[in-house]
Copies of this chain bind each other. A is one copy, B any other.
């Protein structure tokens, strides 16, 4: 299943670190790529590309100002993560079984009402205020049923060997 994240409404002054966490979470937990929308921010895109080069895998990241165009041209289904949506537990099987490309939309500031309308699913990870990074992480963990935690990243230049204490990094 091909899965992308669409990060809406990025603000260059306010959001760089959170947007970076969204992208790295998407990559680490098995997505194929992220499309950044909102304000253009080459530094973020370059930063993510550097991580991919070093840590491996085929995660793509690109910028597109016009999110309506992205959604219009998307040949697959769309999930919008929002605290106002239906519980992930109720809908995750249906989403997993759609067997189409999936776009996961996560906002930064206020998300335009149109996103709620065009999404195939508006999904909440609790109806409490928390974090788009946390919501994305739990959504992906449920979507991939935990298998994403064992994902291998090809062509990595560096790899961690899990330890009980301390740090072991090997260069490949």
When distances are taken between beta carbons in the complex, the residues of chain B under 8 Å from A169 are 84
CB distance from A93 to the nearest CB of B (A): 14
Q: Is the CB of A130 within 8 A of B164?
A: no
- Oligomer copy total: 2
CB distance from A113 to the nearest CB of B (A): 8
| Complex interface bits, A142-172 against B, C-beta within 8 A gives 1, otherwise 0 | 0000101101010000011111111111000
A129 within 8 A of B: yes
- Partner-binding segment picked from A38-46, A68-76, A132-140: A132-140
Q: Is the CB of B131 within 8 A of A25?
A: yes
CB distance from A18 to the nearest CB of B (A): 6
Q: Is the CB of B83 within 8 A of A130?
A: no
Minimal Cβ-Cβ distance residue in B for A135? B137
Q: Is the CB of B163 within 8 A of A84?
A: yes
Q: Is the CB of A24 within 8 A of B133?
A: no
A60 within 8 A of B: no
| Complex interface bits, A49-75 against B, C-beta within 8 A gives 1, otherwise 0 | 001000100000000000000000000
Q: A17-B17, A29-B126, A126-B151 are in contact. Are A24 and B165 (CB under 8 A)?
A: no
Q: A133-B134, A134-B25, A134-B136 are in contact. Are A127 and B159 (CB under 8 A)?
A: yes
A128 within 8 A of B: yes
Q: A125-B149, A126-B151, A149-B88 are in contact. Are A165 and B133 (CB under 8 A)?
A: no
- Interface of A toward B, CB cutoff 8 Å: 14, 17-18, 21-22, 24-25, 27-29, 51, 55, 83-89, 113, 116-117, 119, 122, 124-131, 133-138, 141, 146, 148-149, 151, 153, 159-169
